[in-house]
Amino acid sequence: MHAWLRREGIMVSYEKCHKLMQELEIRAVRGTRHRPKAQGINNEAVAMPNLLWEADHPRDFSSAIPGTRLVGDCTEFVWHRRGKHLYLHVVMDLYHRGVMGWALSDKPDAISALAAMEMARNQGAFRTNVIFHSDHGSQYMSNRFRDYCQLQGIRQSMGAKRVCYDNAVAESFFATLKGDLPDIKTFATKQDLAVWVVTWIEGWYNSRRPHSWNRGYPPFSRPPTIEHPICRTTP
């Protein structure tokens, strides 16, 4: 909040901002993560090594150059009473934490994961020998997804099974999104929810929301002069 106010030209100290937020009972809210169930797992597929893990720098989520280190994941939105589901795949650039590609669908399958990858590619997110890091979701383990990565010259990377910290940046993004999400029962249709999600990503998160990783700048407004040390676990 403090960084956003200063960026909007409102000069206020951090202490004053904190005091006003307490008086107005304004506080950050975080949602609960719902992981989609695996569908059609390729049991013969061999997991990829974790290319973000080195002996001296485990879980290195930093990136000095855009388009060289990407992460991806999938989350689901559920109407418990209506029995409906909507899945969101994203591709994020570790350089500025921006969402370079996204896809919404009824199933957490390889087709949706590839749609998010194609959007990222069309936005110039793939440089030579780019790394794409994910969990062991069936869509990322599928032959279709692996063939795509080989064709595009993408080096696949995967964390350990059932270890959410190995994909902390994507996990943190989904927590932020669902923290801002209104009560899902207020959406009459999946289309209404989809419009809200897209507007939140493109109209708020990427372009306007302050991000601590970028020293308070939104992902797509990150100044090139910002430098970061190795980031091991901070999303």
* Domain-wise residue ranges, the chain: 1-29, 31-221
**Tens of pLDDT, residues 164-194:** 778 999 999 999 999 999 988 888 888 999 9
Q: Which CATH number fits domain 31-221: 3.30.420.10, 2.40.50.140, 3.30.1330.80, 3.40.50.10540?
A: 3.30.420.10
**DSSP category for residue 183:** P
Model confidence band, residue 42 (pLDDT cutoffs 50, 70, 90):
low
Residue with tokens 């370079």: 100
**DSSP category for residue 49:** P
pLDDT at 205 (0 to 100)? 96
Residues 31, 179 contacting (CB under 8 angstroms): yes
Q: Kindly state the helix (H) or strand (E) to which residue 110 belongs, with its residue range.
A: helix 110-122
Whole-number percent of the chain with pLDDT over 70 = 74
Q: What tokens does 20 get?
A: 């006003």
Model confidence band, residue 40 (pLDDT cutoffs 50, 70, 90):
very low
Counting Cβ atoms within 10 Å, is residue 213 exposed (0-12), middle (13-18) or buried (19+)? buried
All residues at 6 or more sequence positions from 221 whose CB lies less than 8 Å from its CB, including other chains: 207, 214
**Tens of pLDDT, residues 5-33:** 665 667 667 566 566 666 666 665 555 54
Lowest-confidence range among 29-33, 92-96, 154-158?
29-33
pLDDT at 189 (0 to 100)? 86
pLDDT at 21 (0 to 100)? 66
Q: In the predicted model, is pLDDT for residue 36 greater than 90? A: no
Interatomic CA distance for residues 73 and 171, integer angstroms: 8
